[in-house]
Structure 1
Amino acid sequence: MKWPESVTIKEVGPRDGLQNEKVIIPTQRKIEWIDQLSETGLTYIEATSFVHPKWIPQLGDALEVGKGIKRNPTITYAALVPNRKGLESALEANMDEISVFMSASETHNLKNINKTISDTFPVLKEVIDAAKDSGKTVRGYVSTVFGCPYEGPIDINQIFRVCDQLFEYGINELSLGDTIGVASPRQVDVFLEQAVKRYDKDSLALHFHDTRGMALANVLKSLDYGIDTFDSALGGLG
């Protein structure tokens, strides 16, 4: 397949990067950083996560960050939302897009969300429905697509089960995550060969971690399948 003429980079560092930092960054520093990112030519910034501070204290100031950043009208400002309560705060902060998340791995989902995959579906459906009713677009994240730290490789049918359900609920885009950075170009090749037959390639994004230095190679392989949207984190954060 011919490579796309251009790609879209979605910057998720203010959320995916900072949530893994041990030191809590002052709110004003976060706002200044996002404001600087807004001047780089990006069209999309995931600014924060409205997860309970008990679970991610680094992002406990999500509402203040969402309200404090200078909005560039050419940029979509998004936030990760775990449930209806988080959505209410995200709407109060007037985030442009709502992101929901879950894992393709049952064990990872239990450890990350404290729910089974089946129990996670209705929670996300409620968020997706309410977000769309509020005029927001919705992005979905599926973690551990290319490997789980607890279960190892995940059966592709299990991955598609999760993806199918999220698309059925009406998400606009799905980001497929190499959560622990174990993917290889060969694995990406095998997965995308089936995925692009099942889903519109324009509704798919790839989220690679550079744990083993393979992220760029995996991006190049994804381009072979016409994928043109990729997540990034400034400085490799997260």
Structure 2
Amino acid sequence: MAPSILISEVGPRDGLQSIATTMPTAHKLRWVDALVAAGLREIEVGSFVPAKLLPQMADVAEVVRHAVARHPHITVMALAPNLRGAEAALQAGAHKVTLPVSASEAHSLANVRKTPAAMVQELQAVVQLRAATAPQALIEVGLSTAFGCTLQGAVPEDDVIRLAVQCAEAGVDEVGLSDTTGMANPAQVRRLFTRLRGELGPKAGAAHMHNTRGLGLANCLAAYDVGVRTFDASQGGLGGCPYAPGASGNVVTEDLVFMFEAMGIDTGVDYNLLMAAREALQAGLPDEPLYGMTPLAGLPKGWQPAA
């Protein structure tokens, strides 16, 4: 039987691009391999952006090709901020391309130098490109700053839902909501995901939560309670956003897996092998601090996973 939920590991992209250190390519490949061995079925392995802007991602095409060739049974995902990046991602063989569309105009201009309306037009071009070159690939939108913006402040929920509908109408396969700035709370998460699922049905996508104010797991659980079944997480809690000051890392994969498994909800992830992947991550970034309460405390005595 398939696991009950999908943990989408975003550390190799969201985590690595948010730190100054560049992980050597060989270590990236070993880390991705270890994550697959642990049971992660969807991994965002990099971002197709100019190397001069993010040297951490200069080897992204090589990482995608490695993951696709060695692990054809998983979903190899990459982020692309525009049509050019999407074209490179599809050429490299990515199974899914994620585009960042921000609900906050201030964040959108800072992050991709386009308004949200212009990004919807970019989406339409990417969908047309996909149809012509890689019709089997999936196109996903992570709706950034859906729960608030450190640059703009509050983001009206009606604006978030309106933009999500526009993205879906542009032809993408999924639209998820991202707490880019770590401003979300569980009541807000329930409201927005309930509305999103009501408007988009099966196109309503992942919950991408940050742990900036310690509410990451609570927000994931709130999303689960209203029907969300895909959750982004980053091993070791790496991540953030250079255009969202003060937004610390993503929900820690190890903690999220433990929470769901302890509740009897099958993630398909082997916790011991997930810790082995954490060792592979630390080997590639020996001076980078890693986070997580469960890795620090260890598993409870007699603990058994859901599966």
Normalised TM-score (structure 2): 0.72
The answer on 1:161 being equivalent to 2:162 is yes
How big is the shift at 1:198?
1.6
- Given residue 185 of structure 1, which amino acid in structure 2 is its aligned partner? P
How big is the shift at 1:20?
0.2
Normalised TM-score (structure 1): 0.92
1:170 maps to: 171
Q: Structure 1 or 2: larger strand share?
A: 1
How big is the shift at 1:153?
1.4
Identity of aligned residues (%): 39
- Give deviations 1:71-95, integer Å, cap 9, x for gaps: 3232010111122322232122111
1:204 maps to: 205
1:36 maps to: 34
1:105 maps to: 104
How big is the shift at 1:185?
0.8
Alignment of structure 1 residues 62-211 onto 2, 5 Å: 62-69=60-67, 71-133=70-132, 134-135=134-135, 136-200=137-201, 203-211=204-212
How big is the shift at 1:236?
0.6
* Structure 2 counterpart SS, 1:99: strand
Question: In structure 1, how many angstroms separate the alpha carbons of the residues matched to 2:15 and 2:154?
Answer: 24
How big is the shift at 1:197?
2.1
2:18 maps to: 20
Structure 1: which 5+ runs fail to align? none
* Structure 1 counterpart SS, 2:70: coil
* Structure 1 counterpart SS, 2:139: strand
- Give deviations 1:194-235, integer Å, cap 9, x for gaps: 223222156321000011111111111112111111111111
Mean Cα displacement is larger for which, 129-138 or 71-80?
129-138
Question: In structure 2, how many angstroms separate the alpha carbons of the residues matched to 1:204 and 1:84?
Answer: 21
Going from structure 1 to structure 2, the CA distance change for 1:193 and 1:83 (only over 3 Å counts) comes to closer
Question: In structure 2, how many angstroms separate the alpha carbons of the residues matched to 1:64 and 1:73?
Answer: 15
Q: Alignment partner for residue 56 of structure 2, among 58, 70, 76?
A: 58
Question: In structure 2, how many angstroms separate the alpha carbons of the residues matched to 1:112 and 1:201?
Answer: 28
Question: In structure 2, how many angstroms separate the alpha carbons of the residues matched to 1:48 and 1:227?
Answer: 24
- Give deviations 1:108-159, integer Å, cap 9, x for gaps: 0000001112222222211122124312111111100011011111011211
How big is the shift at 1:101?
1.3
Structure 2: which 5+ runs fail to align? 240-307
- Given residue 124 of structure 1, which amino acid in structure 2 is its aligned partner? L
Mean Cα displacement is larger for which, 101-110 or 191-200?
191-200
Contact 1:49 1:80 in 2 (8 A): yes
1:218 maps to: 219
Question: In structure 1, how many angstroms separate the alpha carbons of the residues matched to 2:87 and 2:145?
Answer: 28
Question: In structure 2, how many angstroms separate the alpha carbons of the residues matched to 1:16 and 1:172?
Answer: 21
Question: In structure 2, how many angstroms separate the alpha carbons of the residues matched to 1:84 and 1:120?
Answer: 10
Contact 2:165 2:199 in 1 (8 A): no
Contact 2:103 2:160 in 1 (8 A): yes
CA RMSD between the two structures: 1.6
- Given residue 55 of structure 1, which amino acid in structure 2 is its aligned partner? L
